[in-house]
Every structure is written in C-alpha cells, then in structure tokens.
Amino acid sequence: ILNVEQSPQSLHVQEGDSTNFTCSFPSSNFYALHWYRWETAKSPEALFVMTLNGDEKKKGRISATLNTKEGYSYLYIKGSQPEDSATYLCAFRSGYSTLTFGKGTMLLVSP
Amino acid sequence: SAVISQKPSRDICQRGTSLTIQCQVDSQVTMMFWYRQQPGQSLTLIATANQGSEATYESGFVIDKFPISRPNLTFSTLTVSNMSPEDSSIYLCSVDGTGGTGELFFGEGSRLTVL
C-alpha cells in the first residue's frame, strides 16, 4: 500500500499571505506527482503534473517543486486570495500503480 | 481537456437501497475511472471501466457492491448497492487527459448521504 501524506490538514490565512503545503510520497519507483485543486461543489482541477526530480512548475501565483530522491513536493501560493480557498490534493503514481491520493490540505483565505 | 457530467449531484438514500450514478463525457475515451472520497479520507479508486470488457476493481471493492456499466465510449454508470451509512461519500468519475500528461479530468461528483 502506497502512503501519500499531506500537511497541514487545514490552513487558515489572511488575504495577501503567502503559504505552502507539503506532500510526501514513497521515493522508490517514482513515475509522476500530481497536484489538484478542489473547490467546493466543483470538479477537482489539475494544477501540475511533475515527473522530473528538481522540477519546478508555476501557474500564476501558484508554484510547485519536486524532490523525488527524498520523496516530497511543496506547493506554494504567493499572495493568497479568497478565490484560492479550496482543498489541494497531491497524488503519486509509481511505475506500477494507478494514482494514490493524499487526504488533501484544506485552505481558507479570509478577506 | 474533457467535460464530464455526473448525476445526481447529491442524494439522500435509505439504508438497504441502491443508487446508480451516471457519468457522461463529451469525447470518446478508452478508460473511465470511478473514485470515492469518504469523509476525512483520501480519494480512493474503486474501479476502472473499460468499454467492451468487465470493469477492473481495486482491492477492497467488489462487483456485487459496485456494479459498473460501460455501454459505449462516452458513458458509464456506477451503482452503489445495498447501501449502508458507511457508503456516505462523494463519488467521482474521471478520465485521463489527452496528450500523455497523465492528468485526470473529473466530474463534479455525486454526494451521497445514507441514513
């Protein structure tokens, strides 16, 4: 059974704050690491798919880094806005498996 | 990208009954995936629905409890049979994105509450 851990479980920040979350995953047989944003009553939406150690991806104010050797990824949000409020999911795929999701980090950004 | 429509979006069900969730995709896809998220838990894959063959179930999920149909390349159903309160979850269908990126596209989910 593959173990994907996300921390913190939840986070409450003020508008304008920058924040980051962690996803840890098995460091062996790495294939890909996904980040999704899931807003209430909407579909989960893919943010990033990362495959290379040291990779860094950016979409607007959101960026992510990947360390496959030590088995972690960070998601950063710069200058959080209320519309960033959502649950952020990471998911790990090994060479042999389907995606395994973490429990997510629930972010609430207050105006 | 893919646009996925799921229904019902939510329902309240009585213990012992069954409910079928429908998933419609706006393009033809080989595989459709059914996930479940129980309260406080992670998204967990129930099964992969392939057109023209039986669904492939993950460990801990069985066909009698979660029968799946896949009559064509754009449509699938998941039935939750003989429901108990432990089946209260969000059920999501998803498909692989095109272009080989591996990202998943999801429906908006079906939130089931079993009393």
Partner-chain residue, chosen from A43, A46, A49, that has the shortest CB–CB distance to B107? A43
Give the tokens for residue B99.
């272009």
pLDDT in tens, A36-55: 999 998 999 999 999 999 99
Per residue of chain B (115 residues), give pLDDT as tens: 789 999 999 999 999 999 999 999 999 998 999 999 999 999 999 999 988 888 999 999 999 999 999 999 999 999 999 999 999 999 999 998 766 667 899 999 999 999 9
Confidence of residue A87 (pLDDT cuts 50, 70, 90): very high
Residue A15 carries which side chain, given as an amino acid letter? E
Residue B53: predicted pLDDT: 84
d(CA B101, CA A41): 25
Residue of chain B with shortest Cα separation from A50: B101
Partner-chain residue, chosen from A4, A42, A46, that has the shortest CB–CB distance to B104? A46
Confidence of residue A35 (pLDDT cuts 50, 70, 90): very high
- What per-residue string of b and e applies to B6-37 under the rule 16 or more CB within 10 Å gives b? beeeeeebeeeeebebbbebeeebebbbbbbb
Q: Which residues of A2-85 form beta strands (DSSP E)?
A: 5-7, 10-14, 19-24, 30-38, 45-50, 56-59, 62-67, 72-77
Taking all residues of chain A, what is their mean pLDDT, rounded to a whole number?
A: 94
Cβ pair A105, A36 in contact under 8 A:
no
Percent with pLDDT over 70 in chain A:
98
Q: Residue A23: name the closest of A59, A71, A69, A60 by CA.
A: A71
3-class secondary-structure state, position B85? helix
Using the Cβ of A37 and the Cβ atoms of chain B, whether some distance falls under 8 Å is answered with: no
3-class secondary-structure state, position B86? helix
- Between strands B75-80 and B68-72, the pairing is antiparallel
